Amino acid sequence: MHRENGIALKSQAVLFRTSSHSALLELELARRNIPFVKYGGLKFLDAAHVKDVLSLLRWIENPRGRIAAFRAVRMLSGVGPATAARLLDAIEASPDPVGVMQSFRAPAAAAAEWSSLLEMYEALRSPKSDWPGEMDRILSWYEPQLERIYEDAPARLSDLTQLRRIAATYPSRERFLTELTLDPPAATSGRADEPLLDEDYLILSTIHSAKGQEWKVVQLLNGIDGCIPSDMASGSEDEIEEERRLLYVAMTRARDHLAIVLPQRFYVHQQSGLGDRHVYASRSRFLTDAACAAFEHETWPLSSAPASELAGASSTAHIDLAARIRSVWQQPGK
């Protein structure tokens, strides 16, 4: 909207407390071909561990996908480029790729890992395999590899949790991979590419990386407890005060327009299939009633119905929730 009103993308910024908070936004910007540059962490899809998991998915989807397969097989300890190439050459030359994999003799150091990888591969290739449950199976296999390959594995786990949540929004593995449309993954992660100086692009930045900067328009993601203040930095009064200062930094980066986005709920994967599969978010403790009174409040999607119609609809759809709960407890045997 601001761009249509004449404000260049370079004059707009989206800020967030933690790098992983921008993952969904990055995917949507890529889908809409909106250029952006990110400061304070790699672009989500450029992170090596995210590419690892997506390579596994791509190899399962297409057994002859050499680039994805090479990256997947090289995750195993004791498997070098020559061993991986020998396996992939045999797969290309055979009408039965899975059969070649079953008869492949991995190096002794990788025998156990290869056996578990093959078991997972066959299970996820089965018609009975369900999506997005496949992500749980892949990540349970991959997380031990993550701890072995990357020294900062605990910091990377949040990205994998976010990837699992993103996957749950797609109806199938094929649709998920098609929508992401990754470039062929490299052996290691790269940096978020800088755009050409004469291009217009949106700024994505962590709050820490935004210190000293200013934009005409700033939108702050996830203005809720658990994100700001971060649930990882709320153990003491000093930490909470530092989080308060970070929110102040973020809000004062805006010159003309400031928007704070408060998601109503977050979808989670830990709950059972019979559960609601989401938790409700609460407004950041720093955004007091007095502070919120200075903002205009909007909800999405915006309703196009007249207020009178909305009032009528709400009256006819009134539910006495308290009475319903009492009736449940008053039933015999309850």
Q: Which long-range contacts (CB under 8 A, 24 or more apart) does 153-158 make?
A: 156/47, 156/49, 158/18, 158/20
Whether residue 99 is found in the same domain as residue 200? no
Residue 186 inside a domain? The answer is no
AA identity, residue 62:
N
Q: Domain containing 204: what range?
A: 9-41+192-292
Residue 308 inside a domain? The answer is no
| pLDDT score of 257 | 92
| pLDDT score of 305 | 52
Complete DSSP assignment for 36-101: EEEESS--GGGSHHHHHHHHHHHHHH-TT-HHHHHHHHTTSTT--HHHHHHHHHHHHH-S-HHHHH
Number of structural domains (the chain) is: 2
Residue 216 inside a domain? The answer is yes
Residue 304 inside a domain? The answer is no
Picking from 180, 209, 236, the residue at the C-terminal end of a domain is 180
Residue 82 inside a domain? The answer is yes
Whether residue 131 is found in the same domain as residue 211? no
Whether residue 151 is found in the same domain as residue 58? yes
Whether residue 107 is found in the same domain as residue 230? no
Spell out the residues 6+ positions from residue 45 whose beta carbon is closer than 8 angstroms to its own. Answer: 26, 27, 30, 51, 54, 180, 182
Whether residue 30 is found in the same domain as residue 123? no
CATH of the domain at 271: 3.40.50.300
| pLDDT score of 306 | 52
For the entire predicted model, the pTM comes to: 0.52
Whether residue 248 is found in the same domain as residue 275? yes
Whether residue 167 is found in the same domain as residue 257? no
Whether residue 50 is found in the same domain as residue 176? yes
Whether residue 151 is found in the same domain as residue 52? yes
pLDDT one digit per residue (tens) for the chain, 334 residues: 687 778 888 899 999 888 778 888 888 888 788 888 888 766 677 788 888 999 999 999 888 888 999 999 999 888 888 888 989 899 888 888 888 888 888 888 888 888 999 899 988 888 888 888 888 899 999 999 998 888 888 878 878 887 887 788 778 888 788 766 533 333 233 334 455 545 788 889 888 888 778 999 999 998 888 888 887 777 788 888 888 888 898 999 999 999 998 887 766 555 555 555 667 778 888 888 888 888 888 877 655 555 555 455 444 557 777 787 777 777 555 4
Whether residue 109 is found in the same domain as residue 172? yes
pLDDT in tens, 115-141: 999 899 988 888 888 888 888 899 999
CB 24 within 8 A of CB 259: no
Picking from 159, 180, 201, the residue at the C-terminal end of a domain is 180
Whether residue 149 is found in the same domain as residue 103? yes
